[in-house]
Amino acid sequence: MGGYQKKRGGSVLQGLYADKHGTDCGTKKYRTVHVTEDNQSEYIDAYMVNGKELTLLDYDNIKKYIGKDIKIRYPMGCLTEKICNKCAGERYYKLLNEYDKPINLGVPVSKVYTELAQKSLKKTHKMTLEYYNITDLNEFII
């Protein structure tokens, strides 16, 4: 699954770029979302429209928006060719630890799926031996 998802995600996003960190296209477009206990993590590292200001949602402040509708910036509302930082959010920059140049959005997706595939393989192919001291063979068989 990991390899297939990596190729699919990488190919879908390979032509999209996020502009340098700190960029803002100034769009007035936003998406209204309802934050719940179950979906709150989807909005971490996204920018919320808060009047004329933008607020970065993080693990500390997202809790106060649970049960509420909020307005978030999103890539489809961006006005520039390369998606600005405020519409892309912070997640892609953090995944690559890259802040001073535009980033290809296919790269962080590939990175995430590579890590998932590696963890899955390690779980499946456990290479350890375990020894048990059997004192009574009848207890072990029954």
The three-state DSSP-derived secondary structure of the chain is: CHHHHHHHHHHHHCCCEECCCCCCCCCCCCEEEECCCCCHHHHCCCEEEECCEEEECCCCCHHHHCCCEEEECCHHHCCCCCECHHHHCCHHHHHHCCCCCCEECHHHHHHHHHHHHHHHHHHHCCCCCCCCCCCCHHHHHC
Per-range mean pLDDT, top range of 66-80, 84-98, 122-136:
66-80
pLDDT of residue 132: 65
pLDDT at 105: 79
Q: pTM of the entire structure?
A: 0.68
Average pLDDT of the residues of the chain: 82
